[in-house]
A and B are shown apart, each in its own frame.
Chain A
Amino acid sequence: MRYLKSLIIIFLVIVVVLPYVNGLNEPGTRTPIKHVINIFFENHTFDNLFGVYPENSLANSTQDSIISNLTLPLNLLGNETLLHRMNAVPIGQFSTQDPIEGYLAYHQDWNHGMMNNFINGSGRQSMTYFTASQVSPLWDVAEEYALADNYFAPQISESAPNTLYYLTGFSPVINDYGPPPFIPFNETIFGELSSYGISWGVYVSNASSGSFDMSQYISGINNYRDNVQSWNMFLNQVRFGNLPAVSWIFAQDSDGYDMGAPSNILKGELWLIHLINSIEESPVWNTSTIFVTWDDPGGYFDQVSPPVFDGIQLGMRLPFLVISPYAKEDYISTTLITHSSILAFIDYNWKMAALNQFVSKCNIPLDMFDFDIPYYQGYLVRPPLLFNEFPVPASSYFSLNATFLNYNYSSAFPIKLQIDHSSLPYIDKGSSSFNLSSIQSRLFINRDTVYLPISMSAYSVLGFVVINSAIVFLIFWRRKNGK
């Protein structure tokens, strides 16, 4: 009987303890980061949102002193001639007319790298930029954490190819058409994470369909519908500390959270701040990093000619923010990076093989972090910092009322830095040329493939051509032979 009792107790202990042991047994990480949170917006270039960062023309002298300490990225402030050709979005206005979008429009804008044809390509409305009166919330985040000024869209094109590079490190399409072709699930970052047993989740405004931005291109993603959840579920998981290792939060929504013109960008900004504040207040903050970026340029002007990287002509420059207790404060990274660099970071952090050849070549912006040097006041990591200099919504689903719209946002930038600029244990600008191929990382996928199923594919179109040609040939053959 005693043996039986002992066995029952041992069994119960195992049942209770095993899930925790299993949880602890997740593959180790190379950095203290245990949660990568990716937040994805729509359609803005670096110059459109950070073109005059950090100059606040309405700022008083106290703020000036901090501005003078900030590193100036390559932006419109360095080019007065260019700045005068452009239009600042007026104070009190938070949107612009939608620039003309499209593969061809963007190529016209780009004009073989001369970046001088935006008026003919995306239209006059492309030559606009936002100021502290609209984007102070974003600028505050950039000031407190790290901003990249050399981050490019993977393609001179629209959402589909760029988002696919964000999720798979390649794209079978060069513009917004399809599917087909379809990308096999196992060739995406979701497939790689699943194969390594690393938890992941995708969060969307409405999770009922189980789909997310460009998920229609991924064949087999429907088997992972449970991984697609709502923004509220994300916040719950953050609050209770049970967030997956890697999360993607898509702002794409019909209610204008995604910042894409002609939406009011304030809505997306405040939504972002609500998420950041929620994460900073949560148990996952100490082990998290948040990567914020935009899918494509949306037709807005940017002055920097995108380089060719690993044989691929990159697209326009986009903003990229890193928010983390390990992110360097007030830091500008000049590392040449693109959407797939985020995949490279994920692969690096969880000691996985590089998702594919392109990902293995992408630089990883490790310079934006400081994983070694302890911060002030005894904290090993930077303590949470809430952004509340302006009205912040209480929920991730909200409407822009007068409280939000009438606030003087220019007064909210800059904010007091968490660590005094002069005490920073690093210089406030730098770069990194580290990538997975430099550490001889294996490749998870040696060669990217795409699925073209018989239904609605090039093959079935070809089938129609063959059948038609055969019948036409028969017609002429019968005629020739007098049958």
Chain B
Amino acid sequence: MENKLSPLKFFSILIDSFIISLQSSFYILFFAYIFGSIYLIGDSRELYPLLEGVIIGLVLFISAIIIIGNGTLGRIFSLIISGVLIIIAWYLSAYPYFNSPNFTLLVIGMSIMSPFLVISQYFLGYFSIRRRSLKAITLSLSSLIIIAIIIVFAELYERQGQILLPLRIEVLGALSILSALIILYIKRKQP
């Protein structure tokens, strides 16, 4: 009975997942924007390999978090890995004349998801989610929300003529700031 997930607990996990995904998506899209690779989502054919990379990246990072945990060493390891992957994403994005574009896109998609590794580790610790099963559920839900955000982002970007890209990231940024302020406010309210 102890392992059964109550509706209240599930709702709490859902909120935590939403906050993790919002924060992660903002940083991921920020990096994609400053690297100039974000425009690639404007073509559905380009979006598929990118999404494949995104999904592979998310699965890898979820596995890594569950295996290495979110202790101090795990966090340092994640920061290093994330930094290296971001540099790879930047390098591939800055190299415009790539051949085998689908594979490159896949690697860009995977590498650029690495902020998720760091952010989710910190927030899992903050939300005191310690059980592996709860971690897996929270991270899986976060991943699904991130994928949904990216797809909606890509769809709106394409439908509206590939314009107003920074504004959309700013909206996501504003939502991230709002979610962070809510956490801060709730924490203050707690006795």
Contact = CB atoms under 8 A, between A and B. Distances in A.
B163 A177 contact: yes
Interface residue tally on B, bucketed by range = 35 or more
A105 interface: yes
Residue of A177, A468, A472 ringed by the most chain B CB atoms within 10 A: A468
Given A177-B162, A461-B166, A475-B187, A103 B173 contact: no
Contact of B170 (A107, A111, A456): A456
A478 B183 CA distance: 11
Contact of B33 (A100, A111, A458, A474): A458
B43 A105 contact: yes
Contacts of A180: 166
B177 A464 contact: yes
Contacts of B27: 465
B152 interface: no
A468 B43 contact: no
A175 B167 contact: no
Interface size on A, as a range, is: 35 or more
A456 B171 CA distance: 10
B191 to A, nearest CB: 13
A104 B105 CA distance: 10
Contacts of A399: none
Contacts of B39: 103, 175-177
B126 A476 contact: yes
Nearest to A478: B187
B41 to A, nearest CB: 10
A320 to B, nearest CB: 24
Contacts of A457: 166
B166 to A, nearest CB: 5
B153 interface: no
B34 interface: yes
Interface in B163-187: 163-167, 169-170, 173-174, 176-177, 180-181, 183-184, 187
A392 B173 CA distance: 56
A175 B97 CA distance: 13
A479 B170 contact: no
> Counting chain B CB atoms within 10 Å of each CB, which of A100, A105, A472 scores highest?
A472
A384 interface: no
B103 to A, nearest CB: 13
B45 interface: yes
Nearest to A117: B99
A313 interface: yes
A178 B165 contact: yes
A465 B126 contact: no
Nearest to A108: B101
Contacts of B173: 461, 464-465, 467-468
B78 to A, nearest CB: 15
Interface in A438-460: 456-458, 460
Contact of A176 (B36, B105, B162): B162
A102 interface: yes
A173 to B, nearest CB: 8
A112 interface: yes
Interface string B137-155: 0000000000000000000
A115 to B, nearest CB: 13
Given A176-B162, A460-B170, A475-B184, A313 B126 contact: no
A102 B46 CA distance: 10
Given A174-B96, A177-B165, A461-B33, A467 B177 contact: yes
A10 interface: no
Nearest to B96: A174
A476 B166 contact: no
B160 to A, nearest CB: 11
A474 B126 CA distance: 12
Given A178-B163, A476-B122, A464 B180 contact: no
A471 interface: yes
A104 B100 CA distance: 10
A174 B184 CA distance: 41
A472 B169 CA distance: 18
Given A464-B174, A465-B27, A475-B187, A107 B97 contact: yes
Contact of A461 (B101, B126, B170, B183): B170
A104 B43 contact: yes
B96 to A, nearest CB: 6
A309 to B, nearest CB: 14
A471 B180 contact: yes
Contacts of B101: 104, 107-108
Contact of B187 (A102, A111, A177, A479): A479
B23 interface: yes
A179 B161 CA distance: 12
Given A112-B99, A174-B36, A472-B180, A464 B169 contact: yes
A103 B40 CA distance: 8
B23 to A, nearest CB: 7
Contact of A475 (B26, B174, B183): B183
A200 B176 CA distance: 48
B42 interface: yes
A456 B166 CA distance: 5
Interface string A71-115: 000000000000000000000000000001011110110011000
A124 B147 CA distance: 32
A478 B190 CA distance: 13
Interface of A: 100, 102-105, 107-108, 111-112, 156, 174-180, 313, 456-458, 460-462, 464-465, 467-468, 471-472, 474-476, 478-479
11 contacts: A104-B46, A105-B45, A174-B36, A174-B96, A178-B163, A313-B97, A458-B33, A461-B166, A464-B30, A471-B184, A472-B122
Q: Which 9 A-B pairs have the closest CB atoms?
A: A464-B173, A471-B180, A177-B39, A102-B43, A456-B166, A468-B176, A468-B177, A104-B46, A456-B167
Given A105-B43, A464-B177, A479-B126, 8 more contacts: A102-B42, A111-B99, A177-B42, A456-B170, A464-B26, A464-B170, A465-B26, A471-B184
